Structure 1
Amino acid sequence: MEATHSPAAEAALTLTSPDQMQELGRRIAKLLRPGDLVMLTGELGAGKTTLTRGLGEGLGVRGAVTSPTFVIARVHPSLVGGPALVHVDAYRLGGGLDEMEDLDLDVSLPESVVVVEWGDGKVEDLSDDRLHVVIHRVVGNTDDEQRQVTLRGVGARWATAELAGLMA
């Protein structure tokens, strides 16, 4: 794992396996608290759900974290007295904020950690503060597992986050 150091609210990481992606999720979970919104962006198979599985492990939530594509949103209650994990797949939603509002994520957000896959242009209005994780497959590399992950904190909540140190 290689980390590229950027300003405190941004980091770029190169991961070479699904295990590293899951470990990144566990490490990010240590930074999360109730009310946090995490947006995940990446093509199909990039590792969004693998990262979320690590978040769930790190938060100590109940239930196997799997892709919520067909149910759109899945709630994983905490087993350790922490926040629940609300895992949302916005892929099939048309992009209108009305559909996102129907999920009542704004009600869940204050006491939960809400993770939204495919949320670009759909969930930014839920919170001024969010962690945006962008996952790209590295092309031209013989290792199909290699991913470039960019973490960007938006808003005052993430202004002082030490994101670059997550995989050190």
Structure 2
Amino acid sequence: MSINFVTSHPDETKALGRKLAALLTAGDVVVLSGRLGSGKTLFVSGVAEGLGIGARITSPTFLIAKSYVKGFLPLIHADVYRLGSVAEFDDLGLLDSGADGAVLIEWGEAVAEALPKDRLNVSFAMDGDARTISFEPVGGWATRDLGVLT
């Protein structure tokens, strides 16, 4: 069962990310999908704020992944758009590296077969300035109360 939100301002998108941070625990994987410019990195910056991470969050496109450890929970922010295969994703060891924190993966649908069965899929769709952000809990995430996001 998906839960959908519509945001019409960047501050609202970040605020939704801050709310998600309250649900995150060690080992969580969140997969972010949506077109370029749809708000994925902005959302991650909200999650980071919610985790008490004071660093400026930027897209990890050219680095593949960035780690942030100064917060309530370590955060790995990855962008797997440039990876050529699931094997390349596995070689990075992001899921193992993020076992003590949360891993947020942009463009994760490209490596879906390598992702854990327990994850939260978050998709971003644009319509002018509005963003529809859909949360789809998978596996163990289905038992979590996503109502705190409202």
Gaps of 5+ in 2: none
Aligned with 1:155 (options 124, 133, 139): 139
**Does 2:61 match 1:77?**
no
Is the 1:18–1:145 contact (alpha carbons within 8 Å) kept by the matching residues of 2? no
Aligned pairs for 1:1-150 within 5 A: 7=1, 10-79=2-71, 82-94=72-84, 96-138=85-127, 144-150=128-134
Is the 1:40–1:132 contact (alpha carbons within 8 Å) kept by the matching residues of 2? yes
Relative to structure 1, the CA distance from residue 112 to residue 33 in structure 2 (aligned partners, 3 Å threshold; closer, same or farther) is: same
Q: Given residue 147 of structure 1, which amino acid in structure 2 is its aligned partner?
A: R
Alignment TM-score, normalising by the size of structure 2 = 0.93
Deviation, structure 1 residue 34: 0.7
3-state SS in 2 of match to 1:67: coil
Deviation, structure 1 residue 160: 2.2
Deviation, structure 1 residue 83: 2.0
CA RMSD between the two structures: 1.4
Across the two proteins, how many residue pairs are aligned to each other?
150
Once residues 121 and 129 of structure 2 are traced to their aligned partners in structure 1, the CA distance between those partners, rounded to angstroms, is 21
Relative to structure 1, the CA distance from residue 124 to residue 15 in structure 2 (aligned partners, 3 Å threshold; closer, same or farther) is: farther
3-state SS in 2 of match to 1:46: coil
Is the 1:62–1:77 contact (alpha carbons within 8 Å) kept by the matching residues of 2? no
Alignment TM-score, normalising by the size of structure 1 = 0.84
Identity percentage of aligned residues:
40
Gaps of 5+ in 1: 1-6, 139-143
Once residues 63 and 123 of structure 1 are traced to their aligned partners in structure 2, the CA distance between those partners, rounded to angstroms, is 29
Relative to structure 1, the CA distance from residue 86 to residue 78 in structure 2 (aligned partners, 3 Å threshold; closer, same or farther) is: same
